[in-house]
Amino acid sequence: MIYRALGRTGVQVSEIGMGCNRLGEAGPPDRHWIDLVRHAVELGVNLFDSSESYNWGRSEEMLGRAVGARTDVLLATKVSRMREGGKDFSAARIVERAELSLRRLRRSRIDVYQLHSPSRADLERFDWAEGLARLKRQGKVRLGAVALSAHDDGRWLIEQGLAGAGKLVEVFQCTYNLFETQAAEALFPLAHEHGVVLLCRMPLARGILTGKFHAGQEVAEGHRARLDGELQARIRQAEDLRPLGAAY
């Protein structure tokens, strides 16, 4: 495993992290999910990304049971939209939801605590900054973060003085892969200049870039790749990239 500095935080993380969206899904026994996480740790993964909404807390619960308070493993999670579907990124709710996440993760501190895909209107409307600041002062959150829904929102947070090394928000999560490279121009240089950590989600485009799909093949129901509106076109593009992949 290759390790990298997590921005200017002084933390070293594995180049490959584990996204935990499906952790704790119905079907396999709990032992399956716990062993999966522990095997990833054995392979050198030390950063796991979850959310309170992933299987409605089950993902966090499996992480807590698998690694608990291990100091050599970093856990990132998110405060999400309400189960009823509305959004509330108020200070009071952020603090309340963080306490529940801490309980499920079996930790006294969340390493990276993210707002889960807020819109610009959400960022401007709610007093989320007060809640995140309170959690950091209390030592319950190490690094404040936003899982961005738009790259421009990251630029706005930096311009507002809310994001950067040593600021309230020190980490952005954004989509970046061979199909979706916009962040490289729209966000990467500015984030680098201000010392914002970047966690890149969907680097393999929901599995399309692994090469396991083939043009014309039916993708199984329930697979996250089916969420891609350009699925078959991207499968064909991925096949065109095979010679390049083989060369490396």
Q: Bridge partners of 79? A: 115
Q: Is 113 a catalytic residue?
A: no
Contact yes or no for 20/64 (Cβ under 8 A) = no
Q: How far is CA 193 from CA 164, 185, 219, in A?
A: 9, 13, 41
Instruction: Say which of 3, 54, 176, 248 is annotated catalytic.
Output: 54
Beta strands in 87-223 (DSSP E): 110-116, 141-147, 169-175, 197-201
Is 145 exposed, middle or buried, given 0-12, 13-18 or 19+ CB atoms closer than 10 A?
buried
Q: From CA 68, how far away is CA 108, in angstroms rounded?
A: 10
- Is residue 66 within 8 Å of 33, Cβ to Cβ? yes
Listed in order, strand segments (DSSP E) in 96-147 are 110-116, 141-147
Q: Give the residue numbers marked as catalytic.
A: 54
